[in-house]
C-alpha cells in the first residue's frame, strides 16, 4: 500500500481567513487533487506527534501566522523532526513559514527582511544556470502569491539558491535532490490571497501579469509527482 503524503500544518489561520478560505492543509489538498488516504494532516501546534519517517512518502511543511524567530516549542520540535527527515532523504517541501523553518533547522539564518515585507502577486526570477529537477520545465520568471515579513537571510551550508524576487534573494532553496523550500505560496489562489490581505488590512499588490499564477501550482504538483506519489521514501541504510 502506498504511503501517504504528510501535510504538516503549522498553526491555525486567523478566524476570518478560516471562515472564508478554510485551513492551510485544505489548500494543498485542493491543488494536488488528493484523495482520502493519499495524505495525512499533522498538527504539531496541537501537540500531535509527527509521523515516523518510514510511514510517509514525503512531507509538506505549511505556512503560518507565527514567526520562526519566536522559537515556539512546537515549531522547534518540528525543526528537529525536519533534521531527521532530511538526514534520511525524505522528500521535503517547505512553503512560506515552512521554507524558513527548514532553512533554520538546517543551520540557516531567519529574521525580518531588511528590504521589507512582500504581499500580493510578485515576480519570481529563476537564477541563472539552475538545473534542479524541480525547475526543468519552468520559465525564467513567473508570478507568484507572496505574504511574508520574515525571510531566509542566510541559507544553510550546502543549500543552493534557485530563485529570487525584488526584495528577497532566497525565494527557492534546494537542500538535496528531493528537498526544497519556497518563500512564495503555490497553494494560494486569488481568493485565499484576498482573504489574507483583507485580514492584515492591505490592498492587493499586482505584478505586471494579472492572471491567476499557474507556475507555482505546477511546481507544487511536480514535487509531489516526482518524489512522493506511489513512491516510498529514499531512506539511508543504518
Q: Which domains does the chain have, with CATH numbers?
A: 5-227 (3.40.50.880)
Q: Which three cell numbers stand for residue 100?
A: 524558513
Strand ranges, E, within the chain:
5-8, 39-42, 58-61, 92-95, 109-112, 118-126, 141-148, 150-154, 160-164, 172-176, 179-182
For residue 59, what are the CA distances in angstroms to 23, 199, 205? 17, 28, 30
pLDDT in tens, the chain (238 residues): 789 999 999 999 999 889 888 999 999 999 999 999 999 999 999 999 999 999 999 999 999 999 999 999 999 999 999 999 999 999 999 999 999 999 999 999 999 999 888 878 889 999 987 889 999 889 999 999 988 889 999 999 999 999 999 999 999 999 999 999 999 999 998 888 888 877 665 555 544 445 678 999 999 999 999 999 986 444 443 3
Compute the distance between CA of residue 217 and CA of residue 158 in angstroms, rounded to an integer. Answer: 26
Task: Name 57's Cβ contacts closer than 8 Å, sequence gap at least 6.
Answer: 2, 3, 4, 5, 91, 227, 228, 229, 230, 231, 232, 233
Compute the distance between CA of residue 14 and CA of residue 127 in angstroms, rounded to an integer. Answer: 34
Q: Which three cell numbers stand for residue 191?
A: 481568493
Compute the distance between CA of residue 194 and CA of residue 16 in angstroms, rounded to an integer. Answer: 11
- Select from 102, 110, 99, 80 the least CA-distant residue to 187: 99
Contact criterion met (CB below 8 Å) for 145 and 152: no
pTM: 0.91
User: What's the CA angle centered on 200, arms 194 and 205, to 5 degrees?
Assistant: 50
Q: Which residue has the cell 510578485?
A: 122
Q: What counts of helices (H) and strands (E) characterise the chain?
A: 6, 11
Amino acid at each position: 500500500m502506498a504511503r501517504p503524503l504528510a501535510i504538516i500544518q503549522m498553526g491555525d489561520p486567523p478566524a476570518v481567513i478560516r471562515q472564508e478560505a478554510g485551513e492551510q492543509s485544505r489548500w494543498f489538498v485542493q491543488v494536488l487533487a488528493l484523495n482520502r488516504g493519499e495524505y495525512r494532516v499533522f498538527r504539531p501546534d496541537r501537540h500531535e506527534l509527527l509521523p515516523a519517517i518510514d510511514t510517509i512518502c514525503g512531507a509538506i511543511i505549511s505556512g503560518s501566522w507565527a514567526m520562526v524567530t519566536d522559537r515556539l516549542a512546537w515549531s522547534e520540535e518540528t525543526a528537529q523532526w525536519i533534521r531527521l527527515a532530511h538526514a534520511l532523504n525524505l522528500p521535503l517541501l517547505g512553503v512560506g513559514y515552512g521554507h524558513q523553518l527548514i532553512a533554520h533547522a538546517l543551520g540557516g539564518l531567519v529574521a525580518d527582511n531588511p528590504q521589507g515585507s512582500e504581499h500580493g502577486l510578485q515576480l519570481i526570477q529563476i537564477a541563472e544556470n539552475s538545473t534542479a529537477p524541480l525547475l526543468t520545465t519552468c520559465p525564467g520568471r513567473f508570478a507568484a502569491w507572496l505574504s511574508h515579513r520574515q525571510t531566509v537571510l542566510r541559507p544553510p551550508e550546502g543549500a543552493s539558491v534557485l530563485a529570487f524576487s525584488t526584495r528577497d534573494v532566497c525565494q527557492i532553496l534546494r537542500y538535496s535532490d528531493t528537498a526544497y523550500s519556497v518563500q512564495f505560496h503555490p497553494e494560494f489562489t486569488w481568493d485565499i490571497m484576498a482573504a489574507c490581505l483583507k485580514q492584515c488590512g492591505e490592498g492587493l499588490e499586482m505584478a505586471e501579469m494579472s492572471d491567476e499564477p499557474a507556475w507555482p501550482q505546477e511546481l507544487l504538483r511536480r514535487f509531489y509527482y516526482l518524489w512522493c506519489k506511489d513512491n516510498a521514501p529514499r531512506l539511508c541504510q543504518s
